[in-house]
Amino acid sequence: MAYDTLLVETRGAVGLITLNRPKALNALNGHLIAELNTVLDAFEADEAVRAVVVTGSEKAFAAGADIKEMLSHDFVSALASDFIAPWDRIARCRKPVIAAVAGYALGGGCELAMMCDIILAADNARFGQPEINLGTLPGAGGTQRLIRAIGKSKAMEMVLTGRMMDAREAEQANLVARVVPAADLIDEAIKLADTIAEKSAPVVAMAKAAVNAANEIGLNDGLRFERSQFYATFATADRGEGMQAFVDKRSPKFTNR
């Protein structure tokens, strides 16, 4: 299927989504988000797809939300339409999602990257929440996810000043998992996704849910949830295969059951 704002392909067990609005530096509008959500739904339903990579161009992952589209809203229409709500679909994806970020990831682009499970950054990547310069503030999770990633002081500075953070600082601040040369970004993202795809799919989903819970609930509740997920793996054939393979000193053969 062809899309207006995306390029979509599969590479083995990995679904690759490329944001494709080059004239607008991949600015995020309602149409792009709707197409993105359609692709995510399809990848979620496809058992052959085990992990997803989302990327943009070398110049821009996404330079922000489409300001021309947002300019038409007033408070009543924004509240009534809740037009930001569909953006959260990527954060609810049960399969692992890797953001492969090169160039600008600003405003909504930074927020979209933070909705993913892992951010892999090219050495030319730049992150920021510059909404304050437009007389507004982040509305798709920027104030909430950024502080959880990099702490209050640095997040507050970025949100209140609009300052951009380069790839090295983002890595040091724990916003991104790793920085790689821009020329190697997609290959490294696919390699990372392939590594995850080789694991047991149900156990990956449970592990992802447990890590995400740490951002959302207190420690004691989180520990109880982790333990319940851990015990739940004992109902899977893959847990038995994984442990038996370890004892036998061989590679496991997971069947996703």
Widest CA span of the chain, in angstroms? 64
* DSSP per position, 43-88: HHH-TT--EEEEE--SSEEE--B-HHHHTT--HHHHHHHTTTGGGG
Instruction: Count the neighbouring beta carbons within 10 Å of the beta carbon of residue 93.
Output: 19
What letter does residue 103 receive in the DSSP assignment? B
Q: Catalytic residue positions?
A: 65, 108, 111, 131
Distance from C-alpha of 219 to C-alpha of 162, rounded to nearest angstrom: 32
Please give the Cα distance from 76 to 82 (Å, whole number): 10
* Token pair for 156: 């507050």
As given in the structure block, the two tokens for residue 37 are 């959500």
Using CA atoms, how far apart are residues 133 and 139, in angstroms rounded to an integer?
14
CA distance 238 to 257: 6
Instruction: Give 13-52 as a DSSP string.
Output: TEEEEEE--GGGTT-B-HHHHHHHHHHHHHHHH-TT--EE
E-strand ranges in 129-241 read 165-166, 178-180
**What are the backbone angles phi and psi of residue 200, rounded to the nearest 5°?**
-70, 120
